[in-house]
Structure 1
Amino acid sequence: MLIRKAVRVTTQKIKASLPRLIATIPVSSPAVHFAINPITNRVYFIQGDNHLAVLNTITNKIITTIPIGEMASHLVVNTRTNRIYTSNFFDGTVSVINGRTNRVISTIKVGERCDHIAVNTHTNFIYVSTISLNSKNADVVVINGHTNGVYRRIAFNGRPSQLLVNEWANRIYVTNTTTDSLSVINGLTNKIVSTVKVGRNPVITPVLDRKTQQLYVANNLSRYCSVVDLRTMKVRRIQLGRLQRDITINPLTNRIYISSAQISIKGRLFVVCSKTNKIINTLTVPTFSDVLINPRTNHLFVSASTETGTVPLKVYNGSSLNPLTQLRVGKGSGSLLLNPRTNRMYVGGEKTISVIQD
């Protein structure tokens, strides 16, 4: 989710009403990757290996499915141009979809394989991490959104993985799962300006706290979270004692929420204050929990995958971690998406998408 304007808040307002399930939408295959255009009231998600589904959030009906590339893995929306981009892992292409006509208008070859994708809506550049099958090196490919052509290839030693765009600073942050590092790309020159060491297997998309100018990198195979001071590029560790699964941020309260990813025991959620970088609260959660915070209500949503039946989507107060309610959502639930305009949450599952009004 990209918020274009800074928000000044003096008091965090907690909504009195509780979230409720308002719709269950059937899908023909698991809905696990989401993106949203809140301006047009459309939610997009991968349907099977090579289709993109379009959901009307007003009617909660699927409008259409669009053929795209093979084994699509991630997608992103440029809300300014109403274009949707999918990275198609198996054939190393990016599909460009016109959000008005729901048609593929271009297919761009970026590499042997491609992984994560991100967009800077201000510059209309799209960034894609690629994978080489025959080399230890790979690229971050920069696509010009005006021409739908490859603008530049930025060489990396190792495997660039997750991408995060800071539109206000015009910087792109790239994790590298081979070298266990984080690199910073200058969006003006499209060159790497800094690289620092983080924890092992940073395969989770980092989160940025703009107030403190710190980037939080969850490490899937290290028992600490890496915190990068973007002014000095110095890295400090927050010891968690556990491997990590997911991370989210409430920028209004300066709280970072990190879930663990251990299999043998119950999961753990850690709450970190970005002003002090200290753990201020913890919570027992299901293994492989996905987490998302709604900044407007300060409601923390925790979902978990399951092999059979429905599972509870648990909701907590983001400050106290007191439980507020739980909702029954579909089998295999995990992926969470928030529409910041309507305060609605979309929970992906194997056979359904659950719509929660917060």
Structure 2
Amino acid sequence: MLIRKSLRVAKRQVALGLPRLVATIPVSARVGNIALNPVTNRVYFIQGEHSLGVLDAQTNTIITTLNIGQLPSHLALNARTNRIYVANFLDGTVSVINGLTNRVITTVKVGERCDHIAVNTRTNLIYVTTISLTAKFASVVVLNGTTNKLQRRIRFIGRPSQLVVNELTNRIYVTNTTNDTLSVIHGTRHTILSTVKVGKNPVITPALNRKTNLLYVANNLSRFCSVVNLRTLKVRSIELERRQSNVILNPMTNHIYVTSAQVSEKGKLFAINGDTNRVYRTITVPTFTNTLVNPTTNHLFIAGSSETGTSPLSVYHGTTLKSITTLRIAKGAGDMVMNPRTNRIYIGGENSISVVQD
């Protein structure tokens, strides 16, 4: 189903000056995973144990809250069809939401438990990692976005965890936290083409540079980040530290940022030059952080979580890593998402969403 013509695409707007907090929107529960449709300018966020919130980013008002499955973990959306997909971990189901009506179209059973979810907007296929509590095999499930039915089940030994879709090559990449591997799935035949070894516990969603065709895999229990050449499937290592927690990149500057959250002390952020794949700068960051980079302004945002009071949102220059400003946002800062058309950033918190204009 195509988006109706009434949903017009807004022109790109770039604000001048320092990033600033423009709104704090109260919500009924802690915000989890968060996603944004830049075409409709709506923000979707998991809140609590069985709800999905819908925010009108034009007016900064909550449109509605939907009841979905139990313990939703991740969400993804297809801006072309205006469909939102939520993986409900405890139910082993995927909730399919119509972004025009804000209603749940259907709920699809995919396994005993399900975790990560990703969408190929070109093929209109949805990929979900599932876990079996009783069988030897887990799987990656393929859903058809047109029929909302299960199309294929790809068997895995171990624990398939994070998904990355390359729409240009029609390849799907899956990390496995039991075998410490990365598998490549053919997006048409839905067969595993190859599997390569990476570091220990690759539980963080990798960062894909479509221009260089390199995939950066953060390894939570290894002291290095794995760089996978997706043409040759050769893997090289970049020495960092353990407890890696985030990996993001700026495709315009070809800089990659990996955070390492230490248990009993401050964490670190490593800035990597994608041309040489070497660390060129390291800075100290809070122990638990979420990161986001704005390719247009080359601003790096680091949100530090706080159980009480406000949380710091530190803004750095993406190349020099010099501090630009620090904002105080709602406590419990978590997932962040940005609308590239408006340069507005939405940060989930304990009982609110902070809106920052970059």
Superposed counterparts of 1:114-193, under 5 Å: 114-193=114-193
Q: What's the CA shift string for 1:195-247, capped at 9, x where partnerless?
A: 00011111100011122211000011111000001111011110013330101
Counterpart amino acid of 1:62? I
Show the counterpart of 1:91: 91
Deviation at 1:305?
1.2
Show the counterpart of 2:326: 326
Q: 1:134 and 1:274 mapped to 2: Cα distance?
A: 42
Show the counterpart of 2:285: 285
The answer to whether the Cα contact below 8 Å between 2:332 and 2:349 also exists between their aligned partners in 1 is yes
Total equivalences in the alignment: 345
Does residue 252 (structure 1) correspond to residue 242 (structure 2)? The answer is: no
SS in 2 for 1:216: strand
Q: 2:229 and 2:277 mapped to 1: Cα distance?
A: 11
Deviation at 1:137?
1.8
Q: 1:76 and 1:210 mapped to 2: Cα distance?
A: 19
Counterpart amino acid of 1:228? V
Deviation at 1:101?
0.6
Q: 2:54 and 2:93 mapped to 1: Cα distance?
A: 20
Q: 1:309 and 1:136 mapped to 2: Cα distance?
A: 46
SS in 2 for 1:32: strand
TM-score by length of 2: 0.95
Q: 1:326 and 1:167 mapped to 2: Cα distance?
A: 36
Counterpart amino acid of 2:180? D
Superposed counterparts of 1:46-57, under 5 Å: 46-57=46-57
Q: 1:20 and 1:35 mapped to 2: Cα distance?
A: 21
Deviation at 1:15?
7.8
Superposed counterparts of 1:173-322, under 5 Å: 173-322=173-322
Q: 1:166 and 1:211 mapped to 2: Cα distance?
A: 11
Q: 1:97 and 1:111 mapped to 2: Cα distance?
A: 19
Q: 1:148 and 1:346 mapped to 2: Cα distance?
A: 29
- The structure 1 segments of at least 4 consecutive aligned residues displaced by more than 6 Å after TM superposition are none
For the aligned residues, what is the CA RMSD?
Answer: 1.1
SS in 1 for 2:182: strand
Counterpart amino acid of 2:241? G
Q: 1:170 and 1:356 mapped to 2: Cα distance?
A: 34
Show the counterpart of 2:9: none
The answer to whether the Cα contact below 8 Å between 2:220 and 2:242 also exists between their aligned partners in 1 is no
The answer to whether the Cα contact below 8 Å between 2:199 and 2:222 also exists between their aligned partners in 1 is yes
The answer to whether the Cα contact below 8 Å between 2:272 and 2:280 also exists between their aligned partners in 1 is yes
Deviation at 1:35?
0.9
Deviation at 1:290?
1.1
Consecutive unaligned residues in structure 1, runs of 5 or more: 1-13
Counterpart amino acid of 1:185? I
The answer to whether the Cα contact below 8 Å between 1:290 and 1:303 also exists between their aligned partners in 2 is yes
The answer to whether the Cα contact below 8 Å between 1:260 and 1:269 also exists between their aligned partners in 2 is yes
The answer to whether the Cα contact below 8 Å between 1:116 and 1:128 also exists between their aligned partners in 2 is yes
Counterpart amino acid of 1:135? A
TM-score by length of 1: 0.95
The answer to whether the Cα contact below 8 Å between 1:136 and 1:159 also exists between their aligned partners in 2 is no
The answer to whether the Cα contact below 8 Å between 2:166 and 2:210 also exists between their aligned partners in 1 is no
Q: What's the CA shift string for 1:300-323, capped at 9, x where partnerless?
A: 000111111102100000011110
Q: 2:38 and 2:180 mapped to 1: Cα distance?
A: 35
Q: 1:125 and 1:16 mapped to 2: Cα distance?
A: 38
Counterpart amino acid of 1:215? L
Consecutive unaligned residues in structure 2, runs of 5 or more: 1-13
Q: What's the CA shift string for 1:184-203, capped at 9, x where partnerless?
A: 10101111101000111111
Show the counterpart of 1:9: none
SS in 2 for 1:33: strand
Counterpart amino acid of 2:326? Q
SS in 2 for 1:184: strand
Show the counterpart of 1:33: 33
